[in-house]
Structure 1
Amino acid sequence: MRSDEPMPGNPWPRDMVLHIETSPFGLIELLFAREVWQLAIREVPALDVVPSVGASSRLASGPRQGSGEMAALWRKDWARAWAPFDAESVGIPGPDAETARMLATLDDAELAQAVSSTPSEFWHRGIDSEALGTWRRELSGAERVTTLDETPERRSLPALIAAWETGLTDIVQLPYAGFFAERLNPRTLVVSRLTRSEPALFSRALATPVGERAE
């Protein structure tokens, strides 16, 4: 989202470029899997509308559901799914100590899995892909607006510009219930659907300090 041409009276800074993610790959799949497996991941908010899981079924094979292995795997994949939004992912930095260790000790397949932001293949087993696709389309369809001025970013433009001036370039919207805002780093703000749809709430979210979370 940006203003490409100078327009008299247009308050949008010409060089302000933002990326809006309303159904980010990986994160949506894992939220759907959490509902299928009924995992108690309390640090990740509840959903505003619980998706229909369709014909999805839990499997007898794989990590034992009641042992904590399922939740541990989910949390690991959840952390990896956020990798594209890490502040350090911009540019081409040299490898840190952990990356150097993986390069030295893992084979190609293990390394690909370790650095990928894609959820483990396990979560695709037993998932009703049509139900997941329907939910993803519902999340995307809810964002349609008829005019540019009706977009959430235009309706909260002063707060948006202030946040952009502190480094904001990415807004990630997830189907969390109620008000939610988390400034992961200078680059990335995470909000709920309700938060982004209400100008007062969105303006409040855009003012969230880096590293803080409000809900």
Structure 2
Amino acid sequence: MVISIEDRPHAADEMLWVRQAYGLDVEGDVPPLLTDTPAPAARELTEAERARWAAVWPSLWMSVIQHAGRPTDHAAMERLMDRDLPTEQRKTLLSQVMGPSWRSEFGEDVFEDPSYREWQERSFRAARSAARKPLDEQPERRDLDALVPAWRRGLERIVVLACRDPYARTVGPSALLVTAEVREESRAYRAALASFAPK
């Protein structure tokens, strides 16, 4: 049995920051707010920008999360290491490996904001200072008897978001999206694993 954990996928983190720092009012089944609340973005959006960003956010979010839920394409990663790979093929392959993102849709400038840099630095500091749990205390080991039936139903990957409040959703045929809060609390994690139903 092999289960991979995608802890805080970068493109998803960026989208969650955009939604919260710019106060986007997005509709649909979206995750709760970030655990570490970012400061409001310094840049003011025009009404047209705000409307467009809020309209695009839910569908782009689904694309980002579906990509995060896919198994790593090791063959594509190896091909990227080929020094003789033509530039256009490299760009296409890199785009395939990296997947969709807010950056690919709206450019890099939005992340030059002081709010993003401060929030990202706090995230890195928190990750570096977090104590690593022994293997036997890892959530997947702790709740192995709940994980095995989900794996038998096709679960291969668990995508963890740094959001507050419980939230768990099946993503595609082989992934489960959960907040860190759900993964850390045994009863909630067991319920999330039991809810996994391939789509």
* Correspondent of 1:157 among 136, 140, 144: 144
* Residue 30 (str. 1) matches residue 26 (str. 2): no
Partner in structure 1 of residue 35 of structure 2: 49
Q: Report the alpha carbon displacement of residue 202 of structure 1 after superposing the two structures with TM.
A: 0.7
Q: Report the alpha carbon displacement of residue 124 of structure 1 after superposing the two structures with TM.
A: 2.4
Taking a change above 3 Å as real, the CA distance of residues 87 and 21 of structure 1, as seen in their structure-2 partners, is closer
| Equivalent residue pairs, number | 176
Q: Report the alpha carbon displacement of residue 181 of structure 1 after superposing the two structures with TM.
A: 1.4
Taking a change above 3 Å as real, the CA distance of residues 63 and 77 of structure 1, as seen in their structure-2 partners, is farther
Does the aligned pair in 2 maintain the 1:83–1:89 contact within 8 Å?
A: no
Does the aligned pair in 1 maintain the 2:159–2:177 contact within 8 Å?
A: yes
1:136-215 correspondence runs (5 A):
136-137=123-124, 140=127, 144-210=131-197
Q: Deviations over 1:92-114 (max 9, x none)?
A: 9xxxxxxxxxxxxxxx99xx69x
Does the aligned pair in 1 maintain the 2:26–2:55 contact within 8 Å?
A: no
* Larger helix share, 1 or 2: 2
> Structure 1-normalised TM-score?
0.67
Code of the aligned partner of 1:71: A
For structure 2, the residue ranges without an aligned partner over 5 or more in a row are 76-90
Q: Report the alpha carbon displacement of residue 203 of structure 1 after superposing the two structures with TM.
A: 0.9
> Structure 2-normalised TM-score?
0.72
**Taking CA–CA contacts closer than 8 Å with sequence separation of 6 or more, which of the two structures ends up with the larger relative contact order?**
2
Code of the aligned partner of 1:149: D
For structure 1, the residue ranges without an aligned partner over 5 or more in a row are 1-15, 93-107
Does the aligned pair in 2 maintain the 1:183–1:189 contact within 8 Å?
A: yes
